[in-house]
Structures are given as C-alpha cells and as structure tokens.
Amino acid sequence: MMKKNAFKSVINLFLQSFAVIALVVLFAACKGGGSTSVIDQTYEGEGDNLERVTQEMVAPPLLPKHDQVAIGGPKIVEVTLTIAEKKIEIAPGDSVWAMTFNGSVPAPMIVVHQDDFVELTLINPATNTQLHNIDFHAATGEMGGGDISEVNPGQQVKFRFRATRPGVFVYHCAPGGMMVPMHVVSGMNGAIMVLPREGLKDENGNPVTYDKAYYIAEQDFYLPKDANGKYKNIATPQQSMQEMEGAIKTLIPTHIVFNGHKTALIGRRALTAKVGENVLFITSQANRDTRIHLIGGHADLYWPAGKFNNKPYTDLETWAIPGGSAAAALYKFREPGTYVYLNHNLIEAFAFGAIAQIKVEGEWDNSLMKQIEKPGPIK
C-alpha cells in the first residue's frame, strides 16, 4: 500500500512539474507570437488628419531642432528642399558645378520619429538647367519617391511617405541612367534620421541621450582634366555633366572630402564639444565605401549600419559605412584636446581631405592618460 502511495506521489509531482513547464513554454510562445516581425508589419491610414509641423532646414554639420523622444502621436513633418545648381570650391583653387539640395554639400539632415510622415516639397527653380528628383532610402515604394518626384526647371512637386523604419538613411537625386551617379557625385545627397519614438537605447536597453549631434558626409568628386592633366574650368552645368561622364568612369576620385570642402571641418571650422558631453556623429557616404575612426576616442555605441532597432555595438575603433548608407555612433568625450575624425584609409584622409577635427574643452583626467617623462636626451 505504501509503495502504491509513493508511486502516486511521484506521478503527481511529475504531472505538476510538467504542467509548470508547459505553462512556461506556452507563455513564451504566446509572448513570441505577440511580437510582429518586420516582415509582417501592416499600416493603416494615409496621415491626412494628423497634426502638422514644419521642420526648418539647417546646413550641415548641424541638425534641425528636434525632440529626442517623440511628444504625442505621429505627425506630418513638412520639409521643403530647393534645388540649386551652383559652382562651389572644394579645395583651394579647385571648383565644381555642384548639384545640391538647399545649396549645401551634403544636403540638410532631416529628423523625424518612426511612424511620422515626411511630406516633402521639392522645388526646381527656373534658373536651373537639369531635371531632378529625390530617392529616400527610408521610404517604401516608387523608387523611394524617385518615380513621383521628377521636376523640370520651373516646377515643384509634393509627396508624402511614412517613416516606418528607425535609423539613419541616405537620400539623393536619381534622375535615371548615368545622371544618377553624376548628380550624386556632384554633391546631391543628404541623410534622414528616423528616431525611435521612445528615443535611443544603449547596449543594455536603457535610454541614452546626446548633448550634441553632428552630420558629417564624405563626398567623392571627379574633376575632369585636360590633356596636360590640369583640372578643366567648366563653364556651365550642362558642360559639367558632359565632361564628368569620362572622369567618373575611371573610378578614381580626384577629391575625397568631408562636407563639400577639403577644410570644411578643420581649423576655425572644427566641431566643438566639452568633456562629459555625449556627441552623436552621423556619417554618410552616398557612393563609395568608407571607414570612420575617431583618433583618441571610440564609438562608445555604434548602431550597425545606423539602424536603431538593432542592439548597438560597443567600443568600436573603426566602423565601416558601405556606399549608399549612413551610420550613427555616440561617444562621451573624456579628455580635452583636439580630436581627429577621419576616413581611416589614411591616404584618403590626409592626401585627399576626408578629415575633420573636434575641439574639446574641459579638465584633464590623469586616470586615463598622463605623460610620465617629457621628451629629452636618451639616458
């Protein structure tokens, strides 16, 4: 009898344990099943009745005024970009006919939150000579908007897209055929940052904020040369397009610069920060691969390919940016001094110009570095 009761007790214990395990598995399955994959996400509404806000564009490396954490529900963010074909200096004595949005290389940074709508007005003044459009890598459908945004000189167009995926993304002109690379390497590219509605998270899933944010774009230029190897003086945008086709097919840039000029972000134009500040660096390359390094610092947090849904990497010394993409890295400055932010193909940085500086103010911390002995005679 005792053996029978003991056997029943063992069976009951087994059944109870099995029931607990089954509930845990069922709960986990239900929890997993309740999370929708990005593949299966669906959307409703066209945004017509949402609150509207206007974003005032500013020239890089600055970002427009924005909230790091979304306030309220999704909105329509109104953005206007005006196309300017203009001759600009990209190095002392070297000029190109640049194709630009709002007159700057790179084009302005746009900042919205996930599920906001971007309503873009694209203006092509009658003083221009080329057909233009815009392709947002953050958009879904119609070639990123390129197919519905073509405007001839003297026209404007307006379209709207939902920012469904958080991260940093390139946008650029894409008028078709060889004009796509020619307009892109003439400077007609920028970036958009789509923040998660709850803001950024660190590697542990905790909220993280930035005190400053800078947009740095690497731009490769291909200046046509004459029979003597000297850069040609191009008179018009049309002539520039004709001459450039041969130059870009060499695949060898004549200039590789940050923000449109060899000295755009060094010396008196250097970026600034203070010890203890979190600085978000957004870097894009619309055409060719690059690799970014902060001399004297790191990427404390680096979002793979600039996509905020992914857990950020930590402690990177150099981070790669494939052509046609952007990246986001956050660093807390811990020591004062002049830092160098560059393309770590050091030839492209120092010989061509893909280099920037950050001048950081604050108190020195010997616990991180100190000089034990100054240079002197060998003992």
Active site members: 132, 135, 137, 172-173, 183, 188, 293, 317-318, 344
Task: Determine contact, residues 195/201, Cβ cutoff 8 Å.
Answer: no
Q: What angle do CA 155, 61, 257 make, to 5 degrees?
A: 90
3-state secondary structure of 111: strand
At 20, give phi and psi (nearest 5°).
-65, -45
For 287, other C-beta atoms within 10 Å of its C-beta total: 20
Length of the chain as a residue count: 379
Task: Determine contact, residues 364/334, Cβ cutoff 8 Å.
Answer: no
Burial class (CB in 10 A: 0-12, 13-18, 19+), 39: exposed
With helix as H, strand as E and coil as C, how does 260-318 read?
CECCCCCHHHCEEEECCCEEEEEEEECCCCEEEEEECCCEEEEEHHHCCCCCCEEEECE
Helix (H) or strand (E) holding 96: strand 94-101
3-state secondary structure of 193: strand
All residues at 6 or more sequence positions from 379 whose CB lies less than 8 Å from its CB, including other chains: none
